[in-house]
Amino acid sequence: MKNYNISLIKGDGIGVEIVDEAVKVLDAVGKKFDINFDYKEYLMGGCAIDATGNPLPQETIDGVLNSDACLFGAIGGPKWDNQPRELRPESGLLKFRKEMGVFANLRPAIVYDELVDASSLKPEVIKGVDIMVVRELIGGIYFGEPKGKTETKGWNTMVYEVYEIERIAHVAFKLAMKRDKKLCSIDKANVLDVSQLWRETVEKIAVEYPEVKLSHMYVDNCAMQLIANPKQFDVILTGNIFGDILSDEASMLSGSIGLLPSASTGEKTAVYEPIHGSAPDITGMGIANPIATISSASMMLRYSLNEEEAADAIDIAIKKAMSEGYRTKDLAAFDAKEVVTTTQMGDIITSYLK
């Protein structure tokens, strides 16, 4: 039996509920494929502030770095909005990503055929959409120096070094090789020096992947094209702030933010999480959609643990739940045979694995 050490950060709000369902599914697929998962929980976010006064305790950093991968829920909420910036849950998250060295954020945007009417766009525009956004996660304007604020002025600096662009480009090109061999690099090279360096560096890396068709697009045009013709994209490569915005836009092509997972990978470890937040307004109501977190567990199996069969089994189980008409409340209006709770959706997906 194969054994993996998995760190769990459930976090705040619905994070606890959705991670519990993902663990349930992992245990079921583990029994099916003779895999054992040893879990250890760590604190981050508002719950960590309440318990320790620190949104990111050192124990969490050490524990995650010593695990094979981390499954993460969500953090934050209005309870902690009045904290000083350095003690807010979001500051803990930025520090966490930097400490983990997770420079590559993979965010798929997939439209399920069964939910094509859930999108605000016409079915003929989005049917068959399957995009992977590769976002550089620990550089760019969120981390650049100098930065500061006075009463009359605020400033941040977008900085990228060649090695940062090279390593994220390699991730994107390798993913493109496993998909449709198309990569679109997004920048603002017509006005930003840092984007000119980005484009030049990506073109140099492209020489190592001659089978991949590389194109470039300005970020403002990409924002329009994602709505007008999203099927033109396969792998999108971009920097931190552009990727933050574009991946959120792409996620809404599916019609529900509760469906989409993400992976943040690096040389030290990898963190897998849903793209949505902690949703404090529905915490404890049993209506949160756990599918994004369950899909994140599938990505963990695929990208960190190399358990392709187990990952495929989870993906198939999710699609079956969709095709059978099971929906959580966020998707109740779209061909629902039965509206189910968070726990029931986890049970249904688990049942297809047994």
**Per residue in 26-69, pLDDT tens?**
999 999 999 999 999 999 999 999 999 999 999 999 999 999 99
Looking at the structure, tell me whether residues 136 and 156 fall in a common domain. Answer: yes
Which of 208, 231, 254 is where one domain is finished?
254
Q: DSSP labels for 77-133?
A: -GGGTTS-GGGSHHHHHHHHHHHHT--EEEEEEE--GGGGGGSSS-HHHHTT-EEEE
Give a yes or no: residue 226 inside a domain: yes
Report yes or no on 328 lying in a domain.
Answer: yes
**Residue 105 and residue 18 in one domain:** yes
Residue 115 lies in a domain: no
β 270-274/261-265 pair status: antiparallel
* Cα–Cα–Cα angle for 262, 264, 266, rounded to 5 degrees: 155
The parent domain of residue 134 ranges over 120-254
Q: Is the peptide bond before 146 cis (omega within 30 degrees of 0)?
A: yes
181-216 residue pLDDT tens: 999 999 999 999 999 999 999 999 999 999 999 999
The count of domains in the chain is 2
And the tokens for 95?
């520090």
Q: What percent of the chain has pLDDT over 90?
A: 88
Q: Are residues 78 and 13 in the same domain?
A: yes
Residue at a domain's end among 224, 254, 284: 254
The residues annotated with a catalytic role in the active site are 142, 188, 220, 244, 248
The model scores a pTM over 0.85: yes
Same-domain pairing of 181 and 288: no
Q: What is the pLDDT along the chain (354 residues), one digit of tens a residue?
A: 899 999 999 999 999 999 999 999 999 999 999 999 999 999 999 999 999 999 999 999 999 999 999 999 999 999 998 888 888 998 899 899 999 999 999 999 999 888 888 888 999 999 999 999 999 999 999 999 999 999 999 999 999 999 999 999 999 999 999 999 999 999 999 999 999 999 999 999 999 999 999 999 999 999 999 999 999 999 999 999 999 999 989 988 987 788 889 999 998 999 999 999 999 999 999 999 999 999 999 999 999 999 999 999 999 999 999 999 999 999 998 888 999 999 999 999 999 998
| In a domain? residue 126 | yes
Last residue of a domain, one of 235, 254, 273: 254
